[in-house]
Amino acid sequence: MFPVMLSELNKAEKFIFMEYYIIEDGLMLNSILDILKEKASRGVDVRFMYDSLGSIAKAPVDIVRDLRKAGIRCFEFNTFRSILDNRYNNRDHRKICVIDGSVGFTGGVNLADEYINVKTVYGHWKDTAIMIKGDAVWSLTNMFLAFWDGINKCDEDYRKYLPDIEVKADNGYVIPYTDFPIDNETVGKSVYLNMINRANRYIYIMTPYLILDNTMATSLCDAAKSGIDVRLITPGIADKKLVNLLTKSYYDRLIEAGVKIYEYTPGFVHAKIFVSDDETAVVGTINLDYRSLAHHFENAIWMYKTDIVADIKKDFLDTQEKCERITLEKCMKKSFAKIIFMPILRLFSPML
């Protein structure tokens, strides 16, 4: 996806909007910034936003000043504040790239070298990103501008960012959506639960973290008990040891209910995928954990009866072939310390 994104960025003529949780000095980020600076010098409206905490000790020094000097409007979201401030947990976990209002990218991929496997700290990094074209991109444009205007306290006419060219899909629906921690409705969680509860034949899920509340765990277990083929792919190599230990603490209950769990042995899975019944799929930024479902600003794309659903299913099954299936017997092989520690760890799950 990275070469495709670079190619599309090079085609920009009017505007480029980019919003990411993690940016890190390296090949991926610098290749993109070179293009953004060149486009800004030609009068393209370039805006770049990243999360302060997600990029701490990773972003290039003075990146905000340097990009602004190059004519790029740059903003660092939710700069460091006391952890006692309840807004500290509200991170911008979204990944959005919009080019001229006609092409958009989102998914799990941040702007750091491990996402393109230039750097391999946790083995092979498995992730998923999606490119959309046509009317659906307008939703990503709106998401970015609404967030940008809200935090910068400005108001602008969005109509000037409407694309000139319409690209109609041959079939189905593609609906980008966002989830805010300040909303009363937990959109991300609702979409996931809806897909699980409506599945008739199968529901396949890929997630880096598995921290479930009782509602989500019960829905997965009930689906499996009713004969639905429920499969989960989680990382074989963890990026966060405590979170991975917490993930494993849910295995027993899920497997006993009939859920099939696979660990990606070549490395770390960062993809966030739901696909069901050859009809519906979701690709986005939303993890199956408390932070994503309650605290973070997130976004994803829901798809229904489009050709891409088959590609997402194939990607899941291809990844599954590289995984080890986790059995109940393997789950039982825990040290005494882990048996004692896991229930205690769950008490702190909202903070992990």
Annotated catalytic residue, options 93, 295, 296, 313: 93
Q: How far is CA 97 from CA 16, 19, 53, 137, 142, in A?
A: 7, 7, 20, 10, 12
270 is catalytic: yes
Annotated catalytic residue, options 100, 113, 127, 289: 100
39 is catalytic: no
Residue 70, SS3 per DSSP: coil
Annotated catalytic residue, options 260, 277, 330, 334: 277
Annotated catalytic residue, options 272, 295, 296, 313: 272
295 is catalytic: no
Count other C-beta atoms under 10 Å from residue 208's C-beta. 26
Distance between CA atoms of 212 and 226, rounded to whole angstroms? 20
Annotated catalytic residue, options 189, 270, 295, 313: 270
Strand order in the sheet with 103-107: 73-77, 45-51, 15-20, 96-99, 103-107, 129-133
Can you give 126-149 as a three-state secondary structure string?
ECCEEEEECCCHHHHHHHHHHHHH
183 is catalytic: no
124 is catalytic: no
Query: In the numeric block, which tokens belong to residue 107?
Result: 């998914």
272 is catalytic: yes
Annotated catalytic residue, options 39, 51, 92, 95: 95
Going by C-alpha positions, the residue among 208, 191, 197, 167 that lies closest to residue 302 is 191
Which residues does the annotation mark as catalytic? 93, 95, 100, 270, 272, 277
